[in-house]
Structure 1
Amino acid sequence: MIYFVAAIAGIAGFLFGFDEGVIAGSLHLLRGEFNITPFSEGLMTAAVPLGALFGALVAGRAVETSGRRALLLVAAVLFAVGALLSALIVAVWMLSVARLLLGIAVGIAALVAPLYIAESAPPARRGMLVSIYQLAITLGILGAYLVGYAFSESWRTMFLFGALPGIALFVGMFVLPDTPRWLAMKGRSAEAGAAIARIRAVAPESPVVTAELAEIARIAEADQHKGTWSDLFGPVIRPALVVGIGLFLLQQLSGINAVIYYAPVVFREAGFGSASTQLLATVGIGIVNVAMTVVGMLLIDRIGRRRLLLIGFAGTTLSLGMIAIAAATDAAALDVLALIGLVLYIAAFAASIGPLPWVMMSEIFPLNVRGIGMSVASLANWTFNFIVVFSFPLLVSSIGLGGVFAIYAVACAAGILFTLRRVPETNGVALEEIERHLRSGRPFRELGTQPPEPGHGGLQPSYAAAGADKAASR
């Protein structure tokens, strides 16, 4: 059942990826039909992350009052409406508005969907399950590329396809309950117990349900006061906030969304001639993105978050450096070098830097500030997403492709240092234990690298087997 829950919530990720990637296949058609300047192109393309800023801001508080399920239903409606409006536009400014609406849906879903999965999943499988959201993003991007290739003469059809998964998300969330943690936080213990039993596929009176519900209730009682902005920015929770914002900052400054949005442009700059060849090469990049995301999902709960981040940042630094050098020297084999560099970059990103900020954002904040904490992290994500996407065509025209990728390579190198100094290891640690460690005042980066304090126990092996044994953390 937990896989079904993750798959339905993951449709939000598919829509995120589709609405990002669909612009890549439609840009050359839109340029032919409308008078598009570099500024209007940047604004139209960056309308999704700009709208996501507002969506994340609204969702931060609403997710605590209205619940995870209700917000995902709202996002589903916005996705479907935004796709229909995008297919009906008659001017570039109208497409910018429609994509702004889609961006609001993306901002809501990107905050709530990982949270919905994380609060429903057992610790032993939480990393892999939350990574389904990132896998869905890559599938959405690939789907957009394939739709763009199949309907290369009809940009309206490309946009219209986005309404279908929006409808599927609405239907799926309509039949699912809210998360046990939110229900318990609202005093709806019976519903919380029923949700745990349904997700874990056990009887409602099972010890698994009793133990998990008791631990959730104990943490909720300890956090009776509603989390405030001062709590979030205070010295106790600030280390988690730094990690959440820092990982998204580095994720965006690695240049991923510039590559996704403008992949055909990158291939044109690299020497690929026709639009169809550029789109076909872009589809190949999308396939690598999906395949390596699956690899990352298999590794995330085995080798841990920190080690996977270090591997990812090292790989992206090396590959971006290759592209930057090849572009700067105007090498005769630039098309081959750029293709190799892009494939290596996508592979390293998809297995590590792509899914891990979403996973860790849903893990590191205490329950009473989880909504606003994830909201601030998401705001950072979309702010830098907008900056990177909006600036890409302007930077390429001023300093060239090599200079742009050199900036991204430096950002990835900085990610190695940030991971070593700031990022904790949350692999296999219960959400309640992560909160206990954060409130203990010990350095956050020591989580998962040192034995827990006497009396706190930590995560027993039986938890992974049973799915919910919390006795050792009492």
Structure 2
Amino acid sequence: MLVLMIVIGASTTFVVGTALEWRLLALTGIIPCLIQLLGLNFICESPRWLAKVGYEKEFYNALKRLHGDDEDAVTHEANEIQDYLQTLEHQSNATMLDLFQTKYMHSIIIGVGLMMFQQFGGINGVAFYANQIFTSAGFSSSKIAIIAFASIQASSTGTFLGCFIAAISFLMKIFVGSFAIGMGAVPWVLLSEIFPINVKGAAGSLVNLEHWFGAWAVSYTFNFLMDWSPSGVCAASIIFVNKVVPETKGRTLEEIQASINS
């Protein structure tokens, strides 16, 4: 759902950008920001954060909102959270330098590694240089190329069906679609699960720094590497995930931490 919303927004921007100058296009970004601001009123606070700051009543209310009428699930998760927070009471919030301690190293390797493979797979290079890619593939108009790429993004995530005449369109559809259901979404979900609560802020900053540095590096060099294939990076990412990244499905954050630290 995350990547579905991202590519819908990106596709809309690509299409609208063919009719608006870049200043007006930038201003249209205010609209989704306002919608997002209003939507924050419907999101409950994190139960772990509420427990950490001592808001007991709000803590249980948040768990009940998430679990519904399942009192056993609420009680079980509440006890796990309380036990985990007790182990963190003697630990201060980590700084950026603290992240390189041995006890956090596995989580940092997972986070930084996933973001590195995500970016060096070349997705942002494809997006930013879509105009040149389609023009070199034989499209006569840059606007047609941009609209085609927007269609590829949207159709890759199931928003509408379509077939494209050019073979390059089909190949890019596979590439963008595969990224959307895999490395595009999953690393962001894992980042919220693999770091202990006392290092989430600093660790999230470090991983995002690496993420956008990778995006810049790929975007800066992609124009010089139009014949470069990211297949080697993609193959390495499969090995990395298989050997380093733990399974998180059906596990609580506390169980994930125990698995990483074992």
Which bracket does the TM-score occupy, shorter chain normalised?
0.7 to 0.9
Q: Select the residue among 136, 140, 148 that pairs with 2:17.
A: 148
- In the TM superposition, residue 153 of structure 1 has moved relative to its aligned partner by 4.7
In 1, Cα distance between equivalents of 2:170 and 2:74: 50
User: What is the aligned partner in structure 2 of residue 431 from structure 1?
Assistant: 253
User: What is the aligned partner in structure 2 of residue 217 from structure 1?
Assistant: 82
1:121-136 matched pairs, under 5 angstroms = 132-136=1-5
TM-score (norm: length of structure 1): 0.50
- In the TM superposition, residue 175 of structure 1 has moved relative to its aligned partner by 4.6
User: What is the aligned partner in structure 1 of residue 7 from structure 2?
Assistant: 138
Q: CA contact under 8 A between 1:253 and 1:388: conserved in structure 2?
A: yes
Unaligned runs of 5+ in 2: 160-164
Q: What SS class does the counterpart of residue 102 from structure 2 fall into?
A: coil
What CA deviation, in whole Å up to 9, does each residue of 1:400-425 have, x standing for no partner?
x21xx32x222212212222321221
- In the TM superposition, residue 388 of structure 1 has moved relative to its aligned partner by 1.2
Identity %: 31
1:127-276 matched pairs, under 5 angstroms = 132-149=1-18, 152-202=19-69, 206-224=71-89, 225-229=91-95, 231-276=98-143
Q: CA contact under 8 A between 1:236 and 1:438: conserved in structure 2?
A: no
Q: What SS class does the counterpart of residue 367 from structure 1 fall into?
A: coil
In 2, Cα distance between equivalents of 1:213 and 1:348: 37
One-letter identity of the residue aligned with 1:388: V
TM-score (norm: length of structure 2): 0.88
Unaligned runs of 5+ in 1: 1-131, 293-334, 443-474
In 2, Cα distance between equivalents of 1:436 and 1:231: 20
Q: What SS class does the counterpart of residue 194 from structure 2 fall into?
A: coil
Higher helix share: 1
1:40-55 matched pairs, under 5 angstroms = none
One-letter identity of the residue aligned with 2:134: F
1:256-335 matched pairs, under 5 angstroms = 256-291=123-158
One-letter identity of the residue aligned with 2:248: T
In 1, Cα distance between equivalents of 2:23 and 2:43: 33
Q: Select the residue among 385, 388, 391 that pairs with 2:218.
A: 388
Q: CA contact under 8 A between 2:17 and 2:25: conserved in structure 1?
A: yes
Q: CA contact under 8 A between 2:246 and 2:259: conserved in structure 1?
A: no
Q: What SS class does the counterpart of residue 427 from structure 1 fall into?
A: coil
- In the TM superposition, residue 378 of structure 1 has moved relative to its aligned partner by 1.5
Higher RCO structure (Cα 8 Å, ≥6 apart) = 2
What CA deviation, in whole Å up to 9, does each residue of 1:256-308 have, x standing for no partner?
0111222122111222111222122112222134329xxxxxxxxxxxxxxxx
1:412 matches 2:242: no
In 2, Cα distance between equivalents of 1:171 and 1:358: 23
Q: CA contact under 8 A between 2:99 and 2:199: conserved in structure 1?
A: yes
In 1, Cα distance between equivalents of 2:104 and 2:20: 51
